[in-house]
Amino acid sequence: MVRDVMSQKSHHDIACPGCGAELCVELYDSVLVDEEPGLRTDLLTGKLNRVVCDKCGKAFRVDQPLVYHDREQEIFIHYHPLVGGVTMESAVDAFNRAMAELRRLVPAGMRLPETHLVLEWSELAERIFVLEEGLEPRVVEHIKYMMFQQNPEKLDASSKGLLFDAQDSTDEMLCFVVQDRASRKLEAMLHFARKDYEALLNVFGEGQGLKLLMDQFPGPVVNGRLKFLQDRLMEKAEEPEGGREEAKA
Ligand SMILES: [Zn+2]
């Protein structure tokens, strides 16, 4: 059993993005950070799955699926980047298959901790921080959704991302940084009062409120920006002069 859940590495054939040389590199497919805490640090500092081309010397991180396990804090995240023809649908499919396999392996009736699916590297690091802070990811993503909704001019969801910033957050304030998605530059900081987060947590904690939150983010991808963009597309499609619905039929 212990061997099954160790951090796992395997060899991968990749092409250097600098010179095109074919490289065979050893990469982590899964990390078990309660056993090897150094791997968490490597991940958060961008060193994990980073390789150096022995032909041209270019250093780069290889974007490939990674399973993150922290059993001590019950943090389980699957990172499935949308590269090499992987679509959101195929990433969700792969995730659902992995979860079904996991359910098959555990004794009946045993509770499985929630496993998260993220599609971007920055989202992986962010989700680790959100969960380590004891925050509820769906509420955090709901807050981002509201931020996009309330700042349509300054915060264009198609080009800007929002990331929870654990380092600058305090007991009073949750901090979010605005990131330009093309340049990766951090451009601004937005704050959200922690007491307002607590209030949302109460509203969404149970009954009808919880149902609303689950309807907004049924999962496995829980992402306020993507949900906002999706809803805006739906609104456009529903506009009477839009004509999109006829196009579909
Ligand atoms: Zn190279």
pLDDT at 6: 82
Instruction: Evaluate whether residue 211 is within a structural domain.
Output: yes
State the DSSP H helix or E strand holding residue 115, giving kind and residue range, or none if neither: strand 115-118
CA distance linking residue 225 with residue 119, whole number of Å: 12
Among the candidates 87, 120, 153, a domain finishes at 120
**Domain span including residue 3:** 1-120
How many A from CA of 15 to the centre of ligand 1? 8
pTM of the model: 0.90
How many A from CA of 23 to the centre of ligand 1? 9
pLDDT at 36: 95
How many A from CA of 238 to the centre of ligand 1? 49
Structure token digits, residue 199:
């209030």
Among the candidates 62, 88, 120, a domain finishes at 120
pLDDT at 207: 84
Instruction: Evaluate whether residue 95 is within a structural domain.
Output: yes
Total tally of structural domains belonging to the chain: 2
Do 115 and 19 lie in a common domain?
Answer: yes
Residue type, 220: P
pLDDT at 4: 54
Residue 79: φ, ψ to 5°: -105, 120
pLDDT at 245: 52
How many A from CA of 182 to the centre of ligand 1? 23
**How long, in residues, is the chain?**
249
- Please tell me the number of Cα atoms within 13 Å of 140 on its side-chain side: 23
Do 3 and 115 lie in a common domain?
Answer: yes
Q: For the chain, which ranges sit under pLDDT 70? A: 1-5, 241-249
Tracing tokens 């921080």 back to the chain, one arrives at 129
Residue type, 76: F
- The CB density around residue 205, as the number of other CB atoms within 10 Å, is 12
CA distance linking residue 44 with residue 42, whole number of Å: 6
Do 141 and 33 lie in a common domain?
Answer: no
Do 184 and 205 lie in a common domain?
Answer: yes
